[in-house]
Amino acid sequence: MGHHNRHFSGDPYSLNGIWGPPTSAANFCEEDYAVTFYIAEFINALTNVTYIYYAFRYARNRGRNQAWNGHDLMSISLFLVGVSSFIFHTTLRQTAQLFDDLSMLLLGASFLLSVYTTNQTPVVQSLLATIICGGISIVSVIYLRTGNMVLHTISFGTVLLLTGPRTWYLIRKRKGLSKDKSGEKKKSSGLDYKLAKAGVLLVAGFTLWNIDLVMCSQLRAVRNYVGLPWAWLFELHGWWHILTAASAFEFIELVRIIC
């Protein structure tokens, strides 16, 4: 399931927003311009602040222990996801959707670069960085030219599938190197917890996103019944933003420890 085969458009106010009629290939279950004519999907837009919050929270946490050089690709990418997704859900324009999806690929690329280039020789690091950046660039260009959301979904899913096992391996290796140090053992156990937490948050967010797609009519009925502000709790795509932002933060913290 994915937003490439579900499209919710034609809402009563969808043609009255200041951004004009929606042109994006994706249109989610939240009723368009129901709250304000300035924001197409109100909750779906505002919940992107979570990505921005966690991007700056990481920068603050890093600053407690060491200077943050301002070039952290993971936290910068997370910030860009928040900004681009906010613009997309505010306007529902196709160009904004493309940049939103590309920011996700950039975030995935930053994860791959972090976990695959660590503990490698400079030559291997350069080779892997070239392969990763080249692959993401090719996919991004094709996606920009075609707008094929299936390609984006498969690409992003592949990035996650490649990131998980390598991260698990790095944790196992770290445990092996510190097996005689009880303090390090305890710390390494916390790494497993962080990886599991990031995974659970991601799966929970993905599940709610798909429920939002499959059960849109039922959710809209519930929202109409309970009324505002409680109806906003049932905007499940917004929860996807919140949960995946928390998942990304946990993973970034984990990667910075093991790398």
Among the residue ranges 4-13, 149-158, 190-199, 205-214, the one predicted with the least confidence is: 4-13
4 and 153 in contact (C-beta within 8 Å)? yes
Average pLDDT over residues 167-188: 68
- Residue 256 CB contacts under 8 Å (≥ 6 apart), including other chains: 62
Residues of the binding site: 30, 41, 89, 237, 241
Q: Would you kindly state where each structural domain of the chain is located, as residue ranges? A: 42-258
Residues of the binding site for Ca(2+): 30, 41
259 exposed, middle or buried (CB, 10 Å; 0-12, 13-18, 19+)? middle
Question: What percent of the chain has a predicted confidence (pLDDT) above 70?
Answer: 86
Q: What pLDDT band is residue 93 in, cutting at 50, 70 and 90? A: very high
For residues 110 and 132, what is the distance between their CA atoms, to the nearest angstrom?
Answer: 9
Q: Which CATH number is 42-258 given?
A: 1.20.1070
Q: What pLDDT band is residue 179 in, cutting at 50, 70 and 90? A: low
Computed from CA positions of residues 162, 168, 173, 178, in that sequence, does the dihedral angle turn out positive or negative? positive
At residue 123, the pLDDT reads 92
Residue showing tokens 């991007």: 55
For residues 75 and 258, what is the distance between their CA atoms, to the nearest angstrom?
Answer: 16
Residues of the binding site for Zn(2+): 89, 237, 241
